[in-house]
Amino acid sequence: MAQVLIVDDSATVRNEVSSFLAANDLSVEVAVDGKDGLDKLQKDSQIKLVISDVNMPNMDGLTMAEKVRSDLGNHGVNIIMLTTESDPRMKSRGKAAGVKGWIVKPFKGDNVVGSIKKLVS
Amino acid sequence: MSEEEQIVSKVLVHENDEQALSVLKDICTKNNLVGLKVCSRGTSIGLGDPSNEIGDVLNSNVDLGAIFLYEGEDLHGVTGLELCEKIHRSRPELPIFLRRDDLDSIDDLAEAEKQAIAGCYITGDQDRLQSLVEEYICSMYYPTEFAQGIAQVSEEAFNNVIPGLKVRHDMPYLVKDQIIYGELFSLIPLESAWCRGYMMLQTTESEVLDLIRSGRTQIKNERPTSTDSNNILNEVTNLIWGSIKSRYFANDHNDEETHRTQVPIMVNHHRKHISFGSSEPQLCFKYTLSCPNHEFPDIVLYQRLIFNLSWTPEKFEESDRAVDELINDGELEFF
């Protein structure tokens, strides 16, 4: 049972974000791409927040966000993107898919931990 | 622009004539070329077996833009024409410029020799030499602001993935060779309305593994594997790529993704060559990552930008407007 699902194909980012959140008393699950993320979300109904990369193999983060709403019908989970992308067109697509927020990498945990905790609660 | 920010190119010079060397020196100065003379054990040019010595340089990690040779015999009785053919066989991508005694042409040479030579000039003909340099080495213009920006975003990416590092870079330079440095390289497309090509990062696996063992990265593994070193290079590549997109491609409004040309990328593992199908000079940076506490050996990375599919630098612009609209990296922007 996890509160936060981190979806990123980069092990470096997965380690960085998950160790930071764990140190801030949040339970974390990780997934390596959008497809894996969807699987993990289906299996764990306790997940309150998904922090996802955009560019990933097999299934990208925006497609995953769209499928969370359309295929899983999960409107309760919050999704924020953590990505190197800052293209407004991508942000618009994310917004349309119900994404709550956007973080441009690199991850700076201290800047966002308060917001993350609010989204989890 | 400071000297450190100028784009240069390294050329290999095998000459023993003082006048010719003086002309080449002027040309090098005028065109930001760094001339590397083939030397041996502190003596002057061409001692020892010149083909071996040139071979040593070509097989080393020196990125080159061209080679200057003299057609006649050097101090060891080896002619420039003999060297031309040998060099061309091992490094066909490198233009060879031949200094001739009398003829301003290579029409009299054998077919194999002609194929090996990009151009020739007679001693003292600075104009001809200049035109060869412009045609073969300085044929692609890279805006210096672009080169400066690439170095800046790259150094930021290195520091983000490996905090506390000291990062320094040599002058950006133009290369025509296709040598792969180290065992590890990443390749990611750079696509915009004004350029299309790739960014390649090259390094050695052992250096990255030493870095991971030092505990300075997010990969916590005392016995790291190649997967771990791949992850580090992958993340650095991703961060640089994202920054380049934000900084230089954000003004693009061209959604046309179809009917775009592609060419095969050829890799020769035996020769450690990679070809992108274009002979245009590539923009290259060499970074050295050092740990202030010497917890791991220096890491050397070569970054190449290869715009083999499209390059219209006159349309280059920094995305000031787009950058202004962005929030700071690492901040959460709520929708």
Q: What is the CATH number of the domain that holds B46?
A: 3.40.50.2300
* B219 closest CB neighbour out of A12, A85, A102: A12
ipTM exceeds 0.90, yes or no = no
Regarding whether B222 and B112 lie in a shared domain, the answer is no
What is residue B47's predicted lDDT score, i.e. its pLDDT?
A: 36
pLDDT digits (tens, 9 = 90+) for B256-275: 554 577 889 999 999 889 99
Is residue B228 included in any domain, yes or no?
A: yes
**Intervals of chain A under pLDDT 70:** none
Give the angle subtended at the CA of B219 by the CAs of A109 and B215, to the nearest 5°: 95
Regarding whether B184 and B128 lie in a shared domain, the answer is no
**Residue A102: which CATH number?**
3.40.50.2300
- Interface touch B245/A86, C-beta < 8 Å: yes
B245 near A CB under 8 A: yes
Q: Is the pLDDT of residue B280 over 50?
A: yes
Tokens 């060397």 — which residue?
Answer: B21
In order of A43, A81, A118, B59, the CA distances from A1 in angstroms are 9, 21, 18, 55
Residue at a domain's end among B102, B136, B170: B136
What is residue B321's predicted lDDT score, i.e. its pLDDT?
A: 45
What is residue B44's predicted lDDT score, i.e. its pLDDT?
A: 37
Q: Which residues of chain A are within 8 Å of residue B329 when distances are taken between CB atoms?
A: 104-106, 108
Q: Is the pLDDT of residue B1 over 60?
A: no
pLDDT digits (tens, 9 = 90+) for A6-30: 999 999 999 999 999 999 999 999 9
pLDDT digits (tens, 9 = 90+) for B131-157: 999 888 887 889 888 998 999 999 999
Regarding whether B244 and B161 lie in a shared domain, the answer is yes
- Interface touch A88/B238, C-beta < 8 Å: no
Q: Is the pLDDT of residue B43 over 50?
A: no
- Interface touch B245/A84, C-beta < 8 Å: yes
CA pair distance B197, B174, nearest whole angstrom:
15
What is residue B334's predicted lDDT score, i.e. its pLDDT?
A: 85
Regarding whether B172 and B31 lie in a shared domain, the answer is no
Mean pLDDT, all residues of chain B: 85
What is residue B314's predicted lDDT score, i.e. its pLDDT?
A: 85
Is residue B62 included in any domain, yes or no?
A: yes
In order of A14, B160, B202, B210, B299, the CA distances from B218 in angstroms are 9, 11, 20, 14, 17
Helix axes A11-23, A109-120, angle to 10 degrees: 70
Q: Is the pLDDT of residue B31 over 50?
A: yes
Regarding whether B233 and B106 lie in a shared domain, the answer is no
Please, are residues B313 and B194 in contact by the beta-carbon 8 Å criterion? yes
Mutation pick from A10, A51, A83 vs chain B, by most beta carbons of B within 10 Å, is A10
What is residue B320's predicted lDDT score, i.e. its pLDDT?
A: 58
Total domains in chain B come to: 2
Is residue B335 included in any domain, yes or no?
A: no
Q: Is the pLDDT of residue B49 over 80?
A: no
B234 near A CB under 8 A: yes
Give the angle subtended at the CA of B8 by the CAs of B2 and B281, to the nearest 5°: 140
Number of residues assigned to chain A:
121
What is residue B75's predicted lDDT score, i.e. its pLDDT?
A: 72
Tell me the mean pLDDT in the region B31-57.
64
What is residue B328's predicted lDDT score, i.e. its pLDDT?
A: 67
- Interface touch B234/A10, C-beta < 8 Å: yes
Regarding whether B257 and B112 lie in a shared domain, the answer is no
Question: What own/partner pairs with CB < 8 Å and gap ≥ 24 does A88-97 have?
Answer: A88/B322, A88/B325, A90/A54, A90/A62, A91/B333, A91/B335, A93/A62, A94/A62, A94/A65, A94/B335, A95/B335, A97/A62, A97/A65, A97/A66, A97/A68, A97/A69
Please, are residues A70 and A64 in contact by the beta-carbon 8 Å criterion? no
Is residue B101 included in any domain, yes or no?
A: yes
- Token output for A83: 């990505």
Regarding whether B89 and B152 lie in a shared domain, the answer is no
Distance from CA of A43 to the nearest CA of B (A): 27
| CA terminus-to-terminus distance, chain A | 15
Regarding whether B192 and B96 lie in a shared domain, the answer is no
What is residue B303's predicted lDDT score, i.e. its pLDDT?
A: 96
Domain of residue B132: give its range. Answer: 9-136
Regarding whether B322 and B214 lie in a shared domain, the answer is yes
Residue of B nearest to A101 (CA): B334
Regarding whether B173 and B100 lie in a shared domain, the answer is no
Please state, for a pLDDT cut of 70, what percent of chain B lies above it: 88
pLDDT digits (tens, 9 = 90+) for A27-38: 999 999 999 999
Residue of A nearest to B162 (CA): A12
Distance from CA of A7 to the nearest CA of B (A): 14
Domain of residue A73: give its range. Answer: 4-120
Q: Which residues in chain B (256-315) have CB-CB distances under 8 A to chain A?
A: none
At A106, the amino acid letter reads P
Regarding whether B148 and B89 lie in a shared domain, the answer is no
**Residue B302: which CATH number?**
3.40.1550.10
Regarding whether B172 and B116 lie in a shared domain, the answer is no
Total domains in chain A come to: 1
List the one residue out of B267, B274, B250 whose CA is nearest residue B325: B250
Is residue B86 included in any domain, yes or no?
A: yes
